[in-house]
């Protein structure tokens, strides 16, 4: 028999992502529409263990859909990776009358959600990460905003790089995934794209290409480097020493996590937040909302965590043709 849910908690965990507020707003308003109570859990699992729990209503999320970051704040919590921390979290949920929780975050957040589910707290995960590295879904909240923010910044760096006839290494975020780098590399017309999933570390080949491009009249060279490879500053020094071409490194960093979310991130996040509440209201638990093949679906958390994700080979092959 499905467990009846009367009060839903919502938290954001791990790295923040533009669009998280749209998901929170959708959770709150969908739950209220179904006659459920909503409690906001501040600062992720760390806030849960500290009982930083507040009542939420429709006004709590007014004028938030356009804001970047997360109004519930976020944090990482080592204590919640332990059995003792997880048991404490479940007990705190019961103490505050929380029957189910919507967890907005990445793989690490979903592991915690799975543990809560096993302890009797219905949990639904919503994928929120700019890295696009959750295998069960084609979309994660924040990626669209982050990649557009990075694209616009790279356009600006290209302008000055061209003016000074430089080589520019621009490092984008993505943790160990190269999706932001791949998309920006193609969209910004980069001369080279370095992806953690594909780069073999052959720096000499990179140097040779820069020299060859300069010989055939190319006056600048843009290299998009993924965070998972890193070392952009030292790479720039080695390239300049080997080529004699002024080379600068620009690390875009956390600017990619901030800013007004795009329409896509607001729309998709809103639907995912609403779907999460619908699953809880139906008595479901231990599920992750996903966008797959053009549809919103859900997966078992453990099944989702066991999936692997690779850079689409067709996109990678196209990128190799387009970079010059």
Q: Which residues are catalytic?
A: 131
**pLDDT tens for each residue of 192-248:** 999 999 999 999 999 999 999 999 988 889 999 999 999 999 999 999 999 999 999
Q: Is the dihedral of CA 6, 12, 14, 18 positive or negative?
A: positive
Give the mean pLDDT of 80-102: 97
What's the confidence (pLDDT) of residue 51? 97
What's the confidence (pLDDT) of residue 230? 95
Q: How confident is the model at residue 2 (pLDDT cuts 50, 70, 90)?
A: low
Whats the size of the chain, residue-wise? 324
Dist. CA 69–CA 147, nearest whole Å: 15
What's the confidence (pLDDT) of residue 29? 98
Written as one string, the DSSP assignment of 227-264 is TTT--HHHHHHHHHHHH-S-EEEEE-GGGGG-SPPPHH
Give the mean pLDDT of 109-134: 97
Residue percentage of the chain with pLDDT more than 70: 99
Q: pTM for the whole thing?
A: 0.95
Task: Evaluate if residue 114 carries a pLDDT over 70.
Answer: yes
Q: How confident is the model at residue 86 (pLDDT cuts 50, 70, 90)?
A: very high
> What are the helix (H) ranges across the chain?
20-33, 44-49, 83-95, 107-118, 143-163, 179-187, 203-215, 232-243, 263-281, 301-306, 313-322
**pLDDT tens for each residue of 134-185:** 999 999 999 999 999 999 999 999 999 999 999 999 999 999 999 999 999 9
Task: Please list, in sequence order, all residues whose beta carbon lies within 8 angstroms of the beta carbon of residue 15, skipping any fewer than 6 positions away.
Answer: 74, 105, 106, 129, 130, 257
Mean per-residue pLDDT over the chain, rounded: 96
What pairing do the DSSP bridges indicate for beta strands 167-172 and 221-226?
A: parallel
Q: How confident is the model at residue 4 (pLDDT cuts 50, 70, 90)?
A: confident
Give the mean pLDDT of 30-41: 98
Task: Evaluate if residue 1 carries a pLDDT over 50.
Answer: no
What's the confidence (pLDDT) of residue 289? 98
Q: In what order do the strands lie in the sheet with 167-172?
A: 192-194, 221-226, 167-172, 247-251
Of 74, 73, 36, 75, the residue nearest 55 (C-alpha)? 36
């Amino acid at each position: 028999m499905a467990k009846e849910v009367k009060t839903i908690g919502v938290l954001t965990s791990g790295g923040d992502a533009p669009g998280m507020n749209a998901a929170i707003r959708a959770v709150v308003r969908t739950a209220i529409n179904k006659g459920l109570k909503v409690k906001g859990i501040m600062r992720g699992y760390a806030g849960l263990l500290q009982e930083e729990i507040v009542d939420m209503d429709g006004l709590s999320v007014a004028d938030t859909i356009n804001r970047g970051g997360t109004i519930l704040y976020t944090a990482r919590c080592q204590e919640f990776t332990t059995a003792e921390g997880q048991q404490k979290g479940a007990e705190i949920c019961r103490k505050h009358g929380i029957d189910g929780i919507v967890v907005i975050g990445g793989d690490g957040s979903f592991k915690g959600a799975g543990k809560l589910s096993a302890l009797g707290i219905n949990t639904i995960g919503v994928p929120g990460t700019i890295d696009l590295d959750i295998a069960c879904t084609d979309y994660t909240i924040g990626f669209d905003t982050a990649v557009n923010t990075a694209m616009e910044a790279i356009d600006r760096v290209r302008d000055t790089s061209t003016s000074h006839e430089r080589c520019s290494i621009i490092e984008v975020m993505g943790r160990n995934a190269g999706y932001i780098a791949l998309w920006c590399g193609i969209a910004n017309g980069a001369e080279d794209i370095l992806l953690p999933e594909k780069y073999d570390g052959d720096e000499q080949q990179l140097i040779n290409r820069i020299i060859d491009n300069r010989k055939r009249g190319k006056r600048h060279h843009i290299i998009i480097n993924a965070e998972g490879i890193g070392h952009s500053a030292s790479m720039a020094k080695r390239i300049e020493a080997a080529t004699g071409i002024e080379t600068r490194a620009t690390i875009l960093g956390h600017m990619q996590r901030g800013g007004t979310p795009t329409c896509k991130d607001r729309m998709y996040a809103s639907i995912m937040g609403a779907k999460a509440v619908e699953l809880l209201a139906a008595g479901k638990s231990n599920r992750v909302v996903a966008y797959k093949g053009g549809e919103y679906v859900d997966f078992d958390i453990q099944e989702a965590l066991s999936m692997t994700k690779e850079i689409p080979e067709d996109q990678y092959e196209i990128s190799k043709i387009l970079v010059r």
